[in-house]
Amino acid sequence: MFAATFLVNGAGEVFGRLYATRLVALGWPSKPDPIVWYTALGLVTLLAAALVLRLVEARIDGAGVARRSYAAACALGAVGLLVLARAPNGATAAVGVLLVGGISLTVIRVVGAIWVNRRTSNEVRATVHSFLAQAEYLGEIIVGFSLAVFARATTVSAALTAAAVVLVATTVMVLRHNTATVPARDARQHQSHYMP
């Protein structure tokens, strides 16, 4: 989880800083004011996030579902980044933003928190989450900065593609790490803190 969190937040940092630049480069509408379009896109991503989290909530108690959901969200994020990087127009790029910002990163954060809660005792849970927060910050600084330098040396599309590769690597890592299943009864106990 620490390694996955490190990588995911690095890729997420690059996405968060570059997607608007990519949309503008593809001819994001200027009338009405672009803020209207960004707000509309933000509202759609929030709605998508809420719907997807409801679907995840209904299935999270199953054996191994947290790990598979985390990996699937990483894979979907990679697809979204590639769509954004290779999009021929703003509408297609907006679909990529929806996949990454509205679905992938949202599911990763929530499922990651539930997964950690299911595998830690009350005595150490806060400490583990504190260390995960440090992994988030380090990922944003190290991976995010590295990809930002790469973007400056190449193109925004190349940096977004590299971020997709990071998420693919995370997907493979999570799927290969097949740990023992924790009893599903623990999931609901902590789920309410992270589900809307």
Count the domains in the chain: 1
Q: Is residue 139 part of a domain?
A: yes
Q: What is the CATH number of the domain that holds 115?
A: 1.20.1250.20
Structural domain for 134, as ranges: 2-191
In a domain, 120, yes or no: yes
- For residues 58 and 191, give the distance between their C-alpha atoms in angstroms, rounded to a whole number: 11
Distances (CA, A) of 30 to 21, 35, 39, 148: 14, 9, 13, 26
Domain membership flag for residue 196: no
What pTM was computed for the model? 0.83
What region, left, alpha or beta, does residue 63 occupy, with left being phi > 0 and alpha being psi -120 to 50 degrees?
beta
Asked, for residue 119, whether it belongs to a domain, the answer is yes
Whether 99 is in a domain gets the answer yes
> Cα separation of 161 and 157, whole Å?
6
Q: 43: how many CB neighbours lie within 10 A of its CB? A: 11
Establish if 48 belongs to a structural domain. Answer: yes
Per-residue pLDDT of the chain (196 residues; tens, 9 = 90+): 899 999 999 999 999 999 988 998 888 877 787 788 888 888 999 998 889 888 887 777 766 788 888 999 999 999 999 999 999 998 899 999 999 998 999 999 998 888 888 888 888 888 898 999 999 999 999 999 999 999 999 999 999 999 999 999 999 999 987 654 444 444 444 444 444 4
| Stated length of the chain | 196
The secondary structure of 118-174 as a DSSP string is HTS-HHHHHHHHHHHHHHHHHIIIIIHHHHHHHHHHS-HHHHHHHHHHHHHHHHHHH
Token pair for residue 78?
């990679």
Indicate whether 79 belongs to any domain: yes
Q: Is 89 within the bounds of a domain?
A: yes
